[in-house]
Amino acid sequence: MPNKVKYAVYRIIFIIFAAVTILTFGIGGLLLVPLFSYYFFNDLKFWKYFRYYFPMVMACWRLAFLWLTSEAYRGEFSISLTAPPRTSPDLNIVKIRDSWKAGAFDCNQCTKCCQAIACPLLDTTNNLCRSYNSFFWRYFSCGRYPINKQQIEYYNCPKWEMKEC
């Protein structure tokens, strides 16, 4: 039980930080920019990542709007506050498609999900996530993707499919 409380507290703190940042058009988050740097890059040296701050604020606004206006998008992203952080999907519910030719722990530089939401943390030169394995990655959608069939279909994912029950 203590771990579940810890996971919930961590997520709630992040959500409060994100809400303050979004509702103040990024100004409120500037007071805690080292926290932003830690959440998204596992590094408190915010000056190295400051160029991503305002693009991330804009991305949050876009995603909040999408979440509010699209039932399809909203329905596919429900993560319990007490869910443990993850760096990969739950292999009890998903499996790799037979047609997938790359490794099990490799997206083979497929960035469909990142491109679909216009994620500013996608390094388009190398097709890699700049935020890989960060707090945000592990505690929210990226590290646990996919969690349901709707996500796989929404992003037209070539790697994953749901296991038969």
Q: Give tens-digit pLDDT for 63-82.
A: 889 888 988 777 777 788 99
In this structure, what token pair is assigned to residue 152? 């796989």
- What pLDDT band is residue 38 in, cutting at 50, 70 and 90? very high
Q: Structure pTM?
A: 0.85
Burial of 120 (0-12, 13-18, 19+ CB in 10 A): middle
Average pLDDT, the chain: 89
Provide the token pair at 74.
């909203």
Query: Residue 165's pLDDT is what?
Result: 65
What is the domain range of residue 82?
Answer: 2-162
Q: What is the dihedral of CA 117, 122, 126, 128, to 10 degrees?
A: -100
CA distance 15 to 152: 25
- Quote the tokens at residue 46: 């915010």
Specify the range with the lowest mean pLDDT, choosing from 35-44, 46-55, 59-68: 59-68
What is the percent of the chain with per-residue pLDDT over 90, rounded to a whole number? Answer: 50
**3-state DSSP call for residue 160?**
strand
What's the Cα-to-Cα distance from 115 to each of 153, 155, 159, rounded to whole Å? 15, 9, 16
- Evaluate whether 127 touches 116 at the Cβ level (below 8 Å): no
Residue owning tokens 């830690």: 38
- Helix, strand, coil tally for the chain in percent (to 5): 50, 5, 45
As for how many domains the chain has, the answer is 1
Evaluated on CA atoms 45, 24, 73, 149, the torsion sign reads positive
Six-digit token pair at 101? Answer: 């030719």
